[in-house]
Structure formats: C-alpha cells, structure tokens
C-alpha cells in the first residue's frame, strides 16, 4: 500500500497554527534546520490520520511539494515541508518517503494535468505494483488535487482509495460514482457509436462499476449477433430478460432470433453488417461481406425465379446443387445451352454441378429473366439487383454493347478483382473508399443507398408485400443500450 499526497500550508502546523504564507518557504526552511529543537512544536493534522489508520500496511509515501521556477511565487512554496515530513515519518513510523518537486504553477489546471499525466505514466511500473493506492485530496492546491483525482482514476481505475480530511476524520471519496463513472459512461458511448460492444464489456469489467448486469448481457447479445454467433446471442438475450421486469419484455421482442437464419433474414443480417463497415470506414470487410451478400441474394433470386417449375427447395448447400443442375439440363435446355456458350472476360464459364458458384448463379438468373421477358414477364426488382451485381463484377463484359453500361476506362478491372486480390482472399491489394469508387465508377454513398433501396424492393417481392424497410437493427439495439449506459 502506498500513499500519494500533495503538500500544502496546512500539512505542518507550528504550535498549532500554519506558517505565515508570505514567508512560508523561509520559515519552513528554518524549521527544517532546527528540526531536533522544534519537532515537539510541530503537528501533522492531515498525514497523521493516514499514518495512524494504515501504519501497519503503508510501504511508501509520495509527497508532491511546490518548488516553483517563477521567483515571484517561491515564498509560498512547500518545498521544505516535504523534508520535515520525511524526518517525522522516518522517526515515528519508519516508512519510506519520496519527496517530488513540482516546479510549475500549482494553480494552473492545464499545467497540473499535463504534469501528473506525464509523471504517473513514466513511473507507471512503480505504481502498478502497489496493492492499493491511497490518495489524499486535502493538501496542496485545489488544482493539484483535482489533477491527481482525474489522472489517477484514469490511469489506474482500480485499487485506488481517495480521501479528504474533514474535522479530524478521513472521509472516503466514492470515485466510482464520480470520475470513474463519468469516464466509463463517456467512453462507452463513444465505443457504442462504432458498434464496439465487446470493448464496452471489457471497459465495464475494468472499472468494476455496479448495476451493469443487464447492460453486459445486452452488450454480449449485440456482440455475438454482430459476429453471426446466434446461439450465444440467444443465450445472452435470455439472461438479459431475467434481469428486467416481465412487463418490459415486450420492449425487447424485436431482438428474438427464432427465424434469424432463414435466407431472407440472412440477407438483412448481412446488409446490416455491411452498413456498419460502411459507417466505420472498414472497407476491407465491407468488400468481404458484399460478396457474401451477393451469394445470398443470388440463391434467393434463383429460388424465386424457379419456384413454379422446380418444386424442390434449392438452398445454399452443396448437396442440393447437382440435383438442380440435372433439372436445368433436362428441363431448361435453352438456358442450359446459353450457360455452356457463355464466356466471362474471355474465359469459358465452367459449371461444376456439385458446387454452383456466384458467377454461375448470376447467369442462371440472368438467362431465366431473359426467357421470362421474352414472354412479357418483367421482374424489375430482380433485374435491378442483377445489374448492380453485374456492375460490381463485370460478368457480362464480353456481351456486345455492355461495356458502355460500366461507364469507365478500366477495361475488365472491377470491384470483384479487388476482393480476390485483397487480404480477404489471396493478396495484399489495399482497399479504400477511393479504390472502391474508382472500380465501381460511382460514389460509395450513392452506391450504398441504391443497393439498400433495391434490396428492400427485392425483399418486398419475395415476401409478397410492400417493400420493407431494412432499418439497421443494431441502430435500435444501440438506442436501448444508450439508455442503460446513461443509467449507470
């Protein structure tokens, strides 16, 4: 256990009264020189309380005394009080004392905060080892004490005990309800803004704040859901509901995950993650999720286009692929022949009946749409999505007149190449907003808003209803979490 204290003119009394402030430095220096003669006339009303209370546990004391560089203010310095206290403590309690000179203006908030930040960071290894840190907030200037309070609470959020001295008693200062809580709430709000749920859990654990049980369960729910771990998300949602009154359960029914992995819901889940990446400028994972979204969209589009002819459920599972390919070969001969004749950027399209990739799925959907359009059936919601996917990948680059649709001078280079050459796949190609916009030939904001609108239209088609708004559920979760954070 260590004691940290600022030293002011009330820390050492001579015959029961403080020394004169205008001659403080000179008088305290004289007392130091005559310590053996004057020690019985000295009293230590603040520090004696700590030493008597914690004398069996204290290992070291750190005293901050003023020793100002500015000559105008040196008469009021407490420099020599530190040495007097050190002699007294050694004689009476045999505890080691470190006296640290503070040479700046002790009434300047900015200077005191800067000084204590640098000091405690530089000496962090020493203070980290302390089992407990006692901090006195009664000696020194209010500015120095305020700085000690904030800086030590921030650097060492745990194992601190702050005290003030009032009427001869040590009064604990509950910093958990003050500076720790203020800092934790502010930091949590900032982390919430960027959807860093697990980081908030770690922060709350570090500061050991009370009344966080409900909040932590809901944060873990959001964390696991964001990372597609729906089973753990369900478990934490169940635990969260146990911590709140039953009457409030209906306010959180929107979080239920009973049908979350259905293909149509998976599309929304993927889009929400892409939106988070977009808002957080995490373009590498935006690209990765974009192509997973493409696969999910294409499987649902193919299912929709063949729902009246192919009676079985074609899913994103390889065991269903060969049966579907056999159906196409035997019952969709024009489409099948078109697939066999298709080239993609000069390369013949390969159809693996056991593993239909997104390129093959795209052309299956494309040729089926063309067939339906030849019969007067136009499914605009599907066509719009296929056009976006085509522009992302330039699947139809070999088609006569199609290059003008892409509207760029990059040849066959496309956004799909970026995904394949980035860290997500096989290379180290950098991913940035500028690179994405160049390859797609459109501002990212416009692309993102258009994609969202077209997905909403497509889901409306699938569900047979007016286009549903796919408002990000994590935004709503954050609103609920924000209330709980404010109530800490």
Residues 6 or more apart whose CB falls under 8 angstroms from that of 31 comprise: 12, 14, 19, 38, 42, 80, 84
In a domain, 359, yes or no: yes
In this structure, are 196 and 244 located in the same domain? yes
If we measure between CA atoms, which residue out of 277, 271, 262 comes closest to residue 292?
Answer: 271
pLDDT band at 207 (very low <50, low <70, confident <90, very high): confident
Instruction: Render pLDDT for 373-400 as a digit per residue (tens, 0 to 9).
Output: 999 999 999 999 999 999 999 999 999 8
In a domain, 481, yes or no: no
- Which residue is associated with the tokens 């800067």? 114
In sequence order, the β-bridge partners of residue 133 are 2, 160
User: For position 38, which CATH number holds?
Assistant: 3.40.50.10770
Count of domains for the chain: 3
pLDDT band at 295 (very low <50, low <70, confident <90, very high): very high
In a domain, 345, yes or no: yes
Quick one: CA torsion of 22, 33, 58, 117, rounded to 10 degrees? 50
In a domain, 487, yes or no: no
Instruction: Render pLDDT for 245-285 as a digit per residue (tens, 0 to 9).
Output: 999 999 999 999 988 878 889 999 999 999 999 999 999 99
Say if residue 427's pLDDT is above 90.
Answer: no
If we measure between CA atoms, which residue out of 401, 152, 384, 393 comes closest to residue 287?
Answer: 393
In a domain, 488, yes or no: no
In this structure, are 158 and 187 located in the same domain? no
Identify the domain boundary among 173, 194, 229: 173
In this structure, are 227 and 239 located in the same domain? yes
Do the Cβ atoms of 62 and 113 come closer than 8 Å? Answer: no
In a domain, 45, yes or no: yes
In this structure, are 267 and 256 located in the same domain? no
Identify the domain boundary among 113, 143, 173: 173
Name the residue range of residue 254's domain: 180-260
| Mean pLDDT value across residues 289-313 | 91
If we measure between CA atoms, which residue out of 232, 181, 178 comes closest to residue 206?
Answer: 181
In this structure, are 368 and 285 located in the same domain? yes
| pTM of this prediction exceeds 0.75 | no
In this structure, are 295 and 414 located in the same domain? yes
**What pLDDT was estimated at residue 446?**
95
Distance CA 416, CA 59 (A): 64
If we measure between CA atoms, which residue out of 139, 137, 131 comes closest to residue 156?
Answer: 131
pLDDT band at 177 (very low <50, low <70, confident <90, very high): low
In a domain, 377, yes or no: yes
Cα Rg of the chain (Å, integer) = 35
Residues 6 or more apart whose CB falls under 8 angstroms from that of 404 comprise: none
In a domain, 21, yes or no: yes
In this structure, are 254 and 225 located in the same domain? yes
Identify the domain boundary among 260, 280, 314: 260
% the chain with pLDDT above 90:
70
In this structure, are 335 and 405 located in the same domain? yes
- What is the number of other CB atoms lying within 10 angstroms of the CB of residue 35? 14
In this structure, are 219 and 347 located in the same domain? no
In this structure, are 206 and 285 located in the same domain? no
In this structure, are 271 and 416 located in the same domain? yes
**What pLDDT was estimated at residue 425?**
80
In this structure, are 408 and 450 located in the same domain? yes
- Count of alpha carbons within 13 angstroms of residue 391, beta-carbon side: 20
């Amino acid at each position: 256990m260590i004691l940290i204290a600022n030293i002011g003119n009330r820390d050492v009394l001579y015959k029961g009264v403080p020394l004169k402030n205008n001659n403080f430095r000179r008088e305290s220096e004289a007392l130091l020189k005559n310590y053996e003669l004057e020690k019985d006339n000295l009293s230590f009303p603040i520090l004696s309380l700590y030493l008597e209370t914690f004398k069996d546990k204290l290992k070291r004391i750190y005293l901050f005394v003023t020793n100002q560089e500015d000559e105008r203010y040196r008469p009021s310095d407490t420099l020599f009080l530190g040495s007097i206290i050190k002699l007294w403590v050694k004689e009476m309690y045999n505890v080691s004392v470190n006296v640290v000179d503070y040479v700046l203006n002790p009434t300047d908030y900015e200077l005191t905060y800067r000084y204590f930040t640098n000091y405690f960071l530089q000496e962090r290894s020493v203070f980290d080892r302390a089992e407990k840190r006692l901090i006195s907030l009664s000696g020194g200037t209010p500015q120095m004490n305020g700085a000690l309070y904030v800086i030590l609470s921030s650097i060492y959020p745990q194992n601190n005990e702050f005290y003030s001295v009032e009427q001869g008693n040590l009064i604990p200062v509950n910093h958990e309800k003050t500076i720790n809580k203020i800092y934790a709430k502010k930091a949590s709000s900032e982390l919430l803004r960027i959807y860093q749920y697990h980081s908030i859990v770690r922060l709350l654990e570090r500061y050991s704040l009370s009344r966080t049980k409900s909040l932590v369960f809901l944060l873990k729910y959001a964390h696991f859901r964001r990372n597609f771990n729906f089973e753990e998300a369900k478990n934490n949602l169940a635990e969260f509901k146990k911590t709140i009154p039953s009457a409030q359960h209906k306010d959180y029914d929107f979080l239920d995950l009973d049908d979350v992995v259905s293909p149509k819901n998976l599309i929304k889940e993927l889009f929400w993650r892409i939106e988070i990446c977009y808002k957080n400028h995490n373009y590498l994972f935006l690209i990765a999720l974009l192509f997973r979204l493409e696969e999910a969209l294409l499987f649902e589009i193919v299912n929709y286009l063949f729902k009246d002819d192919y009676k079985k459920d074609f899913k994103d599972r390889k065991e269903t692929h060969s049966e579907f390919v056999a159906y196409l070969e035997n019952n969709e001969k024009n489409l099948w022949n078109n697939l066999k004749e298709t080239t993609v950027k000069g390369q013949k399209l390969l159809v693996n009946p056991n593993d239909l990739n997104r390129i093959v799925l795209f052309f299956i959907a494309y040729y089926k749409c063309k067939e339906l359009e030849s019969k007067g059936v136009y499914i605009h919601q599907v066509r719009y999505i296929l056009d976006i996917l085509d522009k992302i990948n330039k699947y139809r680059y070999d088609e006569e007149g199609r290059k003008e649709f892409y509207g760029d001078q990059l040849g066959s280079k496309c956004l799909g190449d970026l995904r394949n050459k980035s860290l997500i796949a096989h290379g180290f190609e950098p991913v940035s907003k500028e690179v994405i916009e160049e390859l797609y030939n459109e501002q990212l904001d416009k692309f993102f808003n258009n994609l969202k609108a077209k997905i909403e239209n497509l889901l409306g088609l699938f569900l047979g209803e007016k286009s549903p708004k796919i408002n990000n559920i994590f935004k709503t979760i954050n609103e609920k979490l924000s209330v709980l954070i404010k109530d800490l």
